[in-house]
A = this chain, B = another copy of it.
Amino acid sequence: MSSEVSCANCPLRRHAAFRPNEAAEIAFIERFKSRQRSVSAGASILREGERSDRLYTILSGWAFRHRSLGDGRRQILNFLLPGDFVGLQQELDHDAMHGIEALSDVTLCVFPRQRLWHLYQEFPSLAYDLTWLCAHEELIVDENLLSVGRRSAIERIGMLLIHLYKRAASVGIGGGDAIPLPIGQQHIADALGLSLVHTNKTLRRLHTLGLVELRGGTLRIGDLARLQRLADYHALPLHARPLI
């Protein structure tokens, strides 16, 4: 299906979000990369509790990281877009604490973990980028934790959709007021610590207000400014707020 792409003309490098790499760096990455892997929508990239000595970069498609409890309750930790790096979170010689699942068909670049140390020795600039990527992902998890812990259902959903919309735009996915977003309501519920039913009702409410439309794998933002105000509407206790 998808042919191997050389790192030199990696499609990700076309976007402003990425640092331009030097030729030597690119050559190293090319050697570091062991292969490419395709995963189809809905399939598991890494099973929770499984040991893995691989690191991944998302080359194309959507995925998410999650953890779950024994009885099935599941929490999505963050969503993964092209350019995201995964695998550092788990300790070497240790089971992964999280699972990773593909939302759409996904293409991954695979790197063997063993050679990571080599990267640190030879290319401090890449090591630096890696740390930055890791720190940045934590920032995203932080934001999600703030939402789940302290925001109301409508605020949470608003924030999440805005977040995904902006992230997608930053890597050149979608255009105008809409992006392709291959997630179902259950995913939103699991990401935000809500029940499926309540997620549906809240989403419906946002739709009625003309703020968002999520259908057929497409997210359309009706009024970004108003949605942003709603999602960040935290100046009053819940019961005292006018009905937007």
Contacts and interface: CB of A to CB of B under 8 A. Distances in A.
A115 B143 CA distance: 28
Contacts of A148: 145, 148-149, 193
A127 interface: yes
A166 interface: no
Number of copies: 2
Interface in A120-141: 120-121, 124-125, 127-128, 130-132, 134-139, 141
Contacts of A67: 142-143, 146
A143 B66 CA distance: 10
Interface residues of A, number: 48
Interface stretch (A20-28, A38-46, A72-80, A177-185): A72-80
A69 B75 CA distance: 23
A167 interface: no
Contacts of A190: 149
A75 B139 contact: no
A71 interface: yes
Given A138-B137, A142-B141, A75 B124 contact: no
A68 to B, nearest CB: 8
Contact of A193 (B68, B70, B75, B149): B149
Interface of A: 67-71, 73-75, 77, 88-89, 91, 97-98, 117, 120-121, 124-125, 127-128, 130-132, 134-139, 141-146, 148-151, 190, 192-193, 232, 234-237
Given A75-B149, A97-B142, A124-B127, 5 more contacts: A69-B232, A71-B236, A134-B134, A138-B141, A149-B193
